[in-house]
A = this chain, B = another copy of it.
Amino acid sequence: MSFNTFGHLFRVTTFGESHGPAIGCVVDGCPPGLRFTVDEVQAALDRRRPGQSRFTTQRREPDQVRVISGTMDHPEGGLVTTGTPIGLLIENVDQRSKDYADIAGSYRPGHADVTYDLKYGLRDHRGGGRSSARETAMRVAAGAIAAKVLPGVTVRAALTRIGEIEIDRARWDWAQVSENPFFCPDPETVPVWTDYLDGIRKRGSSVGAVIEVVAEGVPAGLGAPIYGKLDADLAAAFMSINAVKGVEIGEGFNAARLTGEENADEMRTGNDGRPYFLSNHAGGILGGISSGEPVVARFAVKPTSSILTPRRTVDKFGTEEDLITKGRHDPCVGIRAVPVGEAMMLCVLADHLLRHRGQVGTTPVWPFQRG
């Protein structure tokens, strides 16, 4: 079962509400002997941290992470994993719960308020409680540890669309991603998005986005038939991020428009005797198993549901009302989903690497030698 845990061998369990005393996670199954520093985890958290530009919520959370367990001090500095569960904790410090007092019983359209009440009969209304994007901070922390399980693997993500405006993929430059508040890989799109999103923000509106995540250096062979497919697990991982409504691998929905000839990734033999692919329509996954090509995934984030335009809704007693969602919100929650997408890719790949080891041991001898 997996109410609040994901992964099988590299397992991440998160807990905590937006406005509770703290949020935390337990990373279980991390192999022993891996070195990391608290600063590395902190650096990952800082990328997701709110309040860094006017395009994300102004909640000021230092997101200072504390390592509770599962490590020892390494004689040469930093920490080393011991194979026991790694507990991570972040105290919440900038809750403004009173922002939510007057809508405690109201169902904000697009939020999970109504479904939590429908399921549980009660809910922590403060800042969305458990359904807040605040929970994703722990995913990012876990992702920083997952990265240590994956030496040689590079996972990067970028924003490719905000609302109606998509980047020009011909100008894609990974180096640009850290140079603007949007994680945008196309420098010429940055000023366009800036103007566009300022307009959205100023009129209290919001807009959706698309994030692309690319993992390079992924060993071939990760994944498994039939329900342990790498792409199936990625789909679940991305869809579990708040506000995500669609997931694609490789060509994604565009594959529906292609013919078999167009979509075929042809193969040749490299100098090392191993096959390589002449294209990567598959997004690095065939039959649920990684091919050695970059794993390419995309996910769509809906517009932030909290907006300043009044929307018709009801409260838990059935009273109809018009609701404006106050509080501090992201005009495009997709921006902060970029590091979260990276973290989910890292966690899923770490899990599948361990699962592969468990199922197959070492990579089988390949390519085959003739007679």
Contacts and interface: CB of A to CB of B under 8 A. Distances in A.
A111 B287 contact: yes
Interface string A307-328: 1010111101111100000000
Interface in A228-273: 228-229, 231-240, 242, 245-269, 273
A89 B87 CA distance: 10
Interface stretch (A9-17, A39-47, A186-194): A9-17
Nearest to A292: B118
Given A161-B256, A320-B269, A249 B246 contact: yes
B3 A11 contact: yes
- Select the residue from A66, A288, A292, A320 with max chain B CB neighbours within 10 A: A288
A110 B14 CA distance: 35
A56 interface: no
Contact of A246 (B242, B247, B267, B366): B247
A286 B226 contact: no
B225 A3 contact: yes
18 contacts: A5-B28, A15-B68, A21-B68, A24-B26, A83-B359, A107-B267, A114-B267, A119-B221, A119-B360, A121-B366, A122-B364, A161-B256, A164-B257, A236-B239, A246-B248, A247-B247, A255-B302, A316-B368
B258 A3 contact: no
A185 interface: no
A170 interface: no
Interface stretch (A124-132, A150-158, A173-181): A124-132
Interface residues of A, number: 165
Given A264-B109, A314-B269, A1 B29 contact: yes
B360 A206 contact: no
B115 A221 contact: yes
A356 interface: yes
- Select the residue from A26, A105, A123, A287 with max chain B CB neighbours within 10 A: A287
A11 B1 contact: yes
Given A28-B13, A124-B82, A366-B118, A268 B1 contact: no
A264 B2 contact: no
Closest 4 CB pairs of A and B: A112-B287, A121-B364, A358-B358, A115-B289
Interface string A354-371: 111111110111111110
Nearest to A24: B87
A72 interface: yes
A318 B272 CA distance: 10
Nearest to A364: B121
A235 to B, nearest CB: 4
Nearest to A303: B260
Contacts of A342: none
A273 to B, nearest CB: 5
A40 to B, nearest CB: 19
Contacts of A206: 259-260
B245 A252 contact: yes
B291 A115 contact: yes
A18 to B, nearest CB: 10
A349 interface: no
A275 interface: yes
B258 A303 contact: yes
Contacts of A312: 266-268, 278
A147 interface: no
A208 interface: yes
Given A15-B85, A263-B302, A69 B20 contact: yes
